[in-house]
Structure formats: C-alpha cells, structure tokens
Amino acid sequence: MEPHHAAALQLLIQDPSRVILDPQVVELLSKDFYWYSPVLRNQLEGKVGEIVVQPHSAEEIQKILGYCHANNIPVTARGSGTGNYGQAVPLRGGVVLDLAHMDRLEQIQADGVAVCQPGVRLGVLEGEARKVGWELRCYPSTIIKASVGGFLGGGSGGIGSVAHGALRDFQTVRALEVVTMEPDPRVVFHEGDAVHDILHAWGTNGIISRIWLALTPAVEWSQVIAAFDTYATAFDFAEKIATGAEWSKRLVTVFEWPIPSFFTPVRQYSPAGKSLIYFMIAETQSAALETSAREAGATVPYAGKYTGLVSRPLLSDYTWNHTTLWAMRSDDAYTYLQCGFDPDTVRDQMRQLRATFGNEILFHMEFMKNAAGRVIPGAIPLVYFTTTERLNEMIDFCRGIGVFVANPHVNYVEGGGRYRADNAQLRAKHRYDPEGLLNPGKMVSFHSESAEANTSGAKVK
Ligand code: FAD
C-alpha cells in the first residue's frame, strides 16, 4: 500500500494512534485460529494486511470505507480474531478494520434485548446482563475474548444452544446496522428475517456497526460432571437429559475416553478410562441430576455452583471448540469436524464411523436445539489427521451416511455450512459491496460470478 494512504486515513479519523503500520502488530491482527486446521495452516500462512485501522463509530467506518472504495483498497473486519476457519485473515492485503474499540454496551432494554456496538466482548455482555436478571441465550466457548460482532459475523452457537438453538434461530439477533462499501457508504438497518442477509457472512457484505441481541432470563446454574464406564451409556444418559423438557440446562456435552485425559487442569475430575458428560443444569435440579446419573451407573466426580465466568473449574472451557484446543495441546495431529448427527439413527451412524475409521475419530457430542425446536446430537468430533485426502474421505463418508458436516477446513463462506441456500448473503454482497472489496476471496460465488461477468461483458446484478 502506498504510504500516502496511511497519512490520509490518519487525517480522516484524526487520531494517528488508531492507524497502525507496525508490521508486527499488523501481522498479529491479521491472524485468527486458522491453524486449527492442518489444511488451512498451509493455505493461509503468511497472509497479512498492510495497515490496521481502529474506528470508534459508524461514522468513522463510513469515512474509512468511502476512502478505501475510492482507492480500491480491500478491507477485512476483525472482532477478536478467535474464528477458526481463517475468516478474519486478509487474503489480499489492504486494511484490517479492528473493531475492538467499538465496545459500547448502550443499553439492556426492559424486554431483554441488548443494544451494543460490535466490539463488546460476549463475556462483558453476559456479566452486565446477569446483573439485571438476563443472560446470553447462547455463546461460544471463547466467550471471554470473542466479540458480539465477530460472533454474528463468523460464529454459530455454543453453550446455551441446547435450550435456545443456534445464534441464527428463534430471532436471537433482533436487528443490526451495517455499513456498506460504496462511494458514499450508508448505514443500513436490518430487522427480523433481513438479519440473515448479513449473519455469518464473514464481513464480506458489510460491516456490522450496531446490534440488537435478544437475551433470556438469568438462571442460577450448577456445573456437574458424570462419569460412565462406557461411551454408549454416557451418550444414552446425556440424550435423556438433553431431550427431557423437564430439565433446565445450558450445556450437555459428552466426551468418550481418552478425550478427558487431554484436559490437564481438571484431570482430578477425569477418572481413567471413563466417558464423561459435562452439564450446566439449573441449581434447583442439580441434586436430582446427580441422583439420576448414579441410578444410571455413573459416578459424579464434580458438582458445584456456577459463579459466572470466574468459576473454577469453568466446564465450558473444555467444551465446544475448546475440546479441540486441549487435544491439539496433547498431540498436534488432532484436528476436528463440525457435524450434525441424525437424532433417530445417531447410534448406527456412530457405529459405522467407528467401524470404518477406528480411533481416527473420537466422539465429542454437543446437544443443541435445531430451528424446528428438536434437540439433536451436534458434534465436534476429534480427527487424527494424516492426509487431506483421508480427511476428505471421512467428510464424504459422513455425508454418505446422513451426517451433516460444516467443513471447517475450507476458507470460504459457502463451504463452511452456514451459508444460506437462498443466497441471501450473496445478494446482499451485490447490493452493499458491488466491487468485492470486503474480505475479498471469502465469498467465492461472488468472485466467480464477477469473473464470468468480466469475460462475457455482462453486468452482474
Ligand atoms: P473474529 O474471528 O474476529 O471474526 C469472525 C468473522 O466475522 C470474520 O470473518 C470477521 O471478518 C467477521 N467480523 C468481525 N467483526 C465484524 C463486524 N463488525 N461486521 C462484519 N463482520 C465482522 N464458535 C462458535 O460458534 N461456537 C463455539 O463454541 C466456538 N468455540 C471456539 C473455541 C475456540 C478455542 C476457538 C479458537 C474458536 C471457537 N469458535 C466458536 C469460533 C469463534 O470463537 C467464534 O466464532 C467467535 O464468536 C468469533 O468472534 P471474534 O470476535 O473472535 O470474531
């Protein structure tokens, strides 16, 4: 990037300290957790932006995008950089738009809707919400670090999803404002179904600048670990609690042995050889859950009150995609898949996977509610990586037996499993980023259409 662009951007936001050129900082803020995938690790190594700009307001974002549009400079939005498909890694240099400073929680409305800027950390929002009787409906296990805007841009669900579904379900995202990449960038309000134009688009079709997020009444939670002799009995018990409407729960996670052996800080709660279930359950039901688990043949190595994100142990730190992190720390050949099993045939699906792949796949299940309101066995199984071909063989096999796979080893929105079949995100990109300058290369259907249009002389609408 030519040096005069940095000076011009500094002038635009009138604060040189928020326009960063230091190569080390730029490199740091160009990375996320893409190295979770051995495939992406090779593909994205060395991809960096050229300059970081840190806006404070939607007006500043408008100015920055207007300048970048006029000068054909790519812009990649960044929340906290905890995405793990390289969503926030700039493929074509340009500006990294670091939204961490837009961290104002404006209001928690009486109806339980939080209004905030995108850089608010989910952990901060959860803490503030609980002070006034509300809590997040669902959150990723990266809650302490991840931002609300990044969760909308690149996340999907997590703790709480067993009761409230994924982020995109049940109108959890009530509304958002998005800044467009045009000669005169606009701030456009999206409400109701129109939020799906922007959700999980990896910042390719607008910069989210304000969010209305629905919360749920806060519950006093307990954390419980149940240990079973076999994975089959652990799975049966977890399914019973997860699907039983009488249980008020926030987390139901099942790990087959040896996964619990990777959780070094909580090894004292991981009896050797046992499959474990991690629960967050309403405090009023904790004793009943323990009794029920023991009746089903389990021991209960841990049970205690949840005191917020400072709880020790904090069980969510070992669930969802944190499980993969602990496994990688133990042996960096581990990677993962993101799957949805069929609730009616899940046992047969798991049996077929074990018969075909042995211990190359280890079962880590996360129960979650789907959009139809049914609690289903989601999964983030660990995969012992050998080659890309073998990984793809496993993905194809899963799909062949009816297991849904959101492939975390590709770096474009359409491949990751949360892209909408009705092309809502692509249509929004044509409206809001017609030149393809926002996070270029990540929405491949846009770029392939543009290439076709360029060769045929046609204009893409
Ligand atoms: P970033 O990584 O900074 O950004 C994510 C994407 O959103 C990028 O494409 C970025 O360009 C875009 N973006 C950021 N801000 C904006 C904005 N304002 N406007 C438009 N686009 C924007 N995910 C889950 O869903 N559930 C989990 O349980 C979960 N567990 C994880 C555990 C670990 C250990 C790790 C490393 C990741 C996990 N993730 C999980 C992925 C990730 O943490 C979440 O998706 C998180 O919400 C991303 O937030 P972030 O602020 O770090 O976003």
Which atom of ligand 1 approaches the CA of 147 most closely? 51
- How many angstroms separate the CA atoms of 24 and 39, rounded? 24
Average pLDDT for the chain: 95
Q: Is residue 17 pLDDT above 70, yes or no?
A: yes
**Residue with CA closest to ligand 1 atom 44:** 155
Interval between CA 80 and ligand 1 midpoint (Å) = 7
Distance 297 CA to ligand 1 centre (A): 38
Q: What pLDDT sits at residue 422?
A: 86
443 lines ligand 1 (CB under 6 A): no
What's residue 456's pLDDT? 44
C-beta 37 within 6 A of ligand 1: no
Q: What is the arithmetic mean of pLDDT over 97-109?
A: 98
Residue 33 CA, closest ligand 1 atom number: 36
Q: What pTM, to 2 d.p., does this model score?
A: 0.96
pLDDT digits (tens, 9 = 90+) for 114-156: 999 999 999 999 999 999 999 999 999 999 999 999 999 999 9
Q: How far apart are CA 445 and CA 422, in angstroms?
A: 13
* Inter-residue contact 19 to 53 (CB < 8 Å): yes
Ligand 1 atom with least separation from CA of 156: 25
Q: Is the CB of 438 under 6 A from ligand 1?
A: no
By most ligand atoms within 8 Å of CB, the mutation choice from 60, 78, 121, 418 for ligand 1 is 78
Q: Is the pLDDT of residue 64 over 50?
A: yes
**Amino acid letter, 349:** Q
Query: pLDDT over 70 for what percent of the chain?
Result: 97
pLDDT beyond 90 at 447: no
Reported as a single tens digit per residue, the pLDDT across 21-56 is 999 999 999 999 999 999 999 999 999 999 999 999
Cβ of 140 below 6 Å from ligand 1: yes
User: Does residue 111 surpass a pLDDT of 50?
Assistant: yes
Per-residue confidence band for 2, with pLDDT thresholds at 50, 70 and 90: confident
Q: Is the pLDDT of residue 437 over 50?
A: yes
Task: Please tell me the residue having the least CA distance from ligand 1 atom 43.
Answer: 82
- As to burial, measured by CB atoms within 10 angstroms (0-12 exposed, 13-18 middle, 19+ buried), residue 111 is exposed
Q: For 228-245, what is each residue's pLDDT tens digit?
A: 999 999 999 999 999 999
Tell me the C-alpha distance between 208 and 152, whole Å.
9
- DSSP letters of 196-235? GGTTTSTTSS-EEEEEEEEEEE---EEEEEEEESSHHHHH
Please tell me the least confidently modeled range out of 67-81, 222-236, 445-459.
445-459
CA 83 to ligand 1: nearest atom: 2
Nearest ligand 1 atom, CA 77? 11
Question: Is beta strand 382-384 parallel, antiparallel or unpaired with respect to 19-20?
Answer: unpaired
Q: How would you list the strands of the sheet with 334-336, edge to edge?
A: 334-336, 382-384, 361-362
Q: What is the dihedral of CA 293, 297, 298, 299, to 10 degrees?
A: 110
Which residue's C-alpha comes closest to atom 27 of ligand 1? 140
Find the 156 Cα to ligand 1 centroid distance in Å: 9
Would you say residue 458 has pLDDT above 50?
no
Q: Hey, is 343 helix, strand or coil?
A: coil
- pLDDT range class, residue 459, cuts 50, 70, 90: very low
147 Cβ below 6 A of ligand 1? yes
Percent of the chain with pLDDT over 90: 93
Calculate how far, in angstroms, residue 139's C-alpha sits from the geometric centre of ligand 1.
11
How sure is the predictor about 449, in pLDDT bands with cuts at 50, 70 and 90?
confident
- Of 241, 249, 245, the closest CA to residue 282 belongs to 249
The residue nearest atom 20 of ligand 1, judged by CA position, is 203
